[in-house]
Amino acid sequence: MSESKHGKILIVDDNEDLLKAAKMFLKRHFAQVDIEKNPEAIPALLKQDDYDVILLDMNFTKDVSSGHEGYYWLGKILELDPSAVVVLITAYGDVQMAVKAIKAGATDFVLKPWENEKLLATLYSSMRLRETRDQVETLKLKNQQINETINEKFSDIIGQSQAMQKIFQTIERVAHTDANVLILGENGTGKELVARAIHRHSARRHESFVAVDLGSIPETLFESELFGHKRGSFTDAKEDRTGRFELANGGTLFLDEIGNLSMPSQAKMLTSLQNRRINRVGSNKEVSMDIRLVCATNMPLYEMVKDNKFRQDLLYRINTIEIEIPPLRERIEDIPLLANHFLKHYATRYNKPISKISEAAMTRMSKHQWPGNIRELQHALERAVILCNGSVLQPEDFTLTNTQAREADAGGINLDQFNLDEVEKLLIRKVLKKFNGNITQAAAELGLTRSSLYRRLEKHGL
């Protein structure tokens, strides 16, 4: 029977003989049974462990029959852990006291001396209630994630180029497996769309797709965000929180910008992926996880491994299959398809009678370098639709900063003589100048997020 034991039980009673007898009996049926004589120790016990059921005496030495102490500590327990399952015990029970206890938040009520089998049945029933509560809360969050996925704009990948056809073929081959996938590509190329496509074509498509931008999570909150935490485990932990790993259980976990992880965070991530188990911050209870892992980055992971900035064993763990998405400038045949898709969307959204893009405007877009890739193209179309006064988009409706001439407006610099990093640096400097250093406006103009622009500023020393 020992191999099937699970569950953690805490018994709080001032009768030492009762505590010892209860522990001796219950430890044959549960994985952990803790006993405590002093109710003042309850807050510390709840902080250091996560109990499935708490057996709480209603009457301690100060007040032997009214049950007031039991009600007080019941309230304290539920204040510390609103999802706690508490079974009250007393030798002076009656129907009114039982009803009052249930109304106060108790799960059940037992009289002492109890019958062992009846006590065991009560504890098993209460433990199932705790498990059900946890499952319901997780399901609520997972359903929210699923609904967000369903309502995601532009959830389909658009492309007819040979490079994109190869990506479609790869998605079809790997989606039905549970192989870990690493998606490589510049910002704005559609890495998350590829991850979502893998999920939608997998056997996990009816479960959650949980996306995490690792580049936006501070180092101090990494474990809390990914693994969850218990209430009171740190200063701002005002309530229990389910981590992204638990939310994705049964579904797909998408870790974007995984190249931004620090070495300590990489070690924690590797341990969780290897063991397929996590612990919430502040809890000793292990949670099993069943996820499909998809990661993405725009950083050169293989070079980072050589420079000891990324763990080689973690790279091996996440890149069973690699998919590299080419930048938009290398698949210009997809630009008309994408542009018309965005035109239709924004013309409808802004109720504008715009039916098409002029040939001149399309030519200009095809010669643009698109450093922000598809995201920049999308923003360019949105701005053009808003500014256009006619029924056809013209070149003057677009505010593109580096067209086919590839010459900076200020200084007439021929960008062909520079490498891609130098082109990017010149472009960022120019756009920052245009908006007087306003990061938000510059990022929008470049089709980047603020965090992505900040990383490029640091990279180029701007």
Residue 420 CB neighbours (<10 A): 13
User: Comparing 43 with 93, which gets the higher pLDDT?
Assistant: 43
Judge contact between 257 and 269, C-beta under 8 A: no
Looking at 147-156, 283-292, 315-324, 356-365, which range is the least confident one?
A: 147-156
Tell me, what's the pLDDT at 406?
39
pTM of the model: 0.59
Average pLDDT in the 310-324 region? 95
Highest mean pLDDT among 2-16, 77-91, 100-114, 167-181: 167-181
**What is the residue whose two structure tokens read 């002029």?**
358
| CA 126 to each of CA 13, 24, 116, 131, 372: distance values in angstroms, whole numbers, following the listed order | 19, 20, 15, 9, 55
Amino acid 416: pLDDT: 45
Range list of β-strands (E), 302-357: 321-324, 356-357
> Domains of the chain, with CATH numbers?
2-133 (3.40.50.2300), 162-324 (3.40.50.300), 328-460 (1.10.8.60)
* Mean pLDDT score, 9-24: 89
- pLDDT score of 415 more than 50: no
| Residue 127, pLDDT above cutoff 90 | no
pLDDT band at 310 (very low <50, low <70, confident <90, very high): very high
Q: How far apart are CA 26 and CA 192, in angstroms?
A: 49
* Strand pairing class (108-111; 181-184): unpaired
pLDDT band for position 209 (cuts 50, 70, 90)? very high
Query: Does the pLDDT value for residue 418 go beyond 80?
Result: no
Predicted confidence at residue 117, as pLDDT, reads 85
Q: What digits encode the pLDDT tens for the residues 262-287?
A: 999 999 999 999 988 888 888 877 88
Cα separation, 422 vs 222, in Å, equals 33
Percent of all residues in the chain with a pLDDT value above 90, rounded to a whole number = 40
The Cα–Cα gap between 362 and 299 comes to: 31
pLDDT value, residue 83: 79
Q: Is the pLDDT of residue 451 over 90?
A: no
Q: Does the pLDDT value for residue 409 go beyond 50?
A: no
Strand blocks (E) in 188-318? 209-213, 228-229, 241-242, 252-256, 277-279, 286-288, 292-297
Q: For strands 53-57 and 241-242, give the pairing.
A: unpaired
Across 9-23, 208-222, 350-364, 440-454, least confident range: 440-454
Q: How many other C-beta atoms can be found within 10 angstroms of the C-beta atom of residue 132?
A: 10
**Residue 226, CA distances (Å) to 134, 243, 437 in order:** 17, 5, 34
Q: Is the pLDDT of residue 438 over 60?
A: yes
Of the ranges 49-53, 136-140, 238-242, 258-262, which is most confident?
A: 258-262
- Quick one: average pLDDT of 31-45? 90
Does position 300 have pLDDT exceeding 80, yes or no? yes
pLDDT band at residue 259 using 50, 70 and 90 as cut-offs: very high
DSSP at 141: H
Residue 404 confidence (pLDDT): 40
- SS3 of residue 224 by DSSP: helix
Mean pLDDT of 254-259: 95
Q: Can you read off the two tokens belonging to residue 432? A: 């920052």
Q: Is the pLDDT of residue 2 over 70?
A: no
- Pair 28, 1: CB distance under 8 Å: yes
Residue 1 has what pLDDT?
Answer: 40
pLDDT-based confidence at 135, cuts 50/70/90? low
pLDDT at position 290 is 92
pLDDT at 63 over 60: no
Which tokens hold the place of 261? 């992880």
Q: Which two tokens stand for residue 252?
A: 């797909």
Q: Is the pLDDT of residue 140 over 70?
A: no
Average pLDDT over residues 44-67: 76
Mean pLDDT score of the chain, rounded to an integer? 83
Q: Is the pLDDT of residue 410 over 60?
A: no
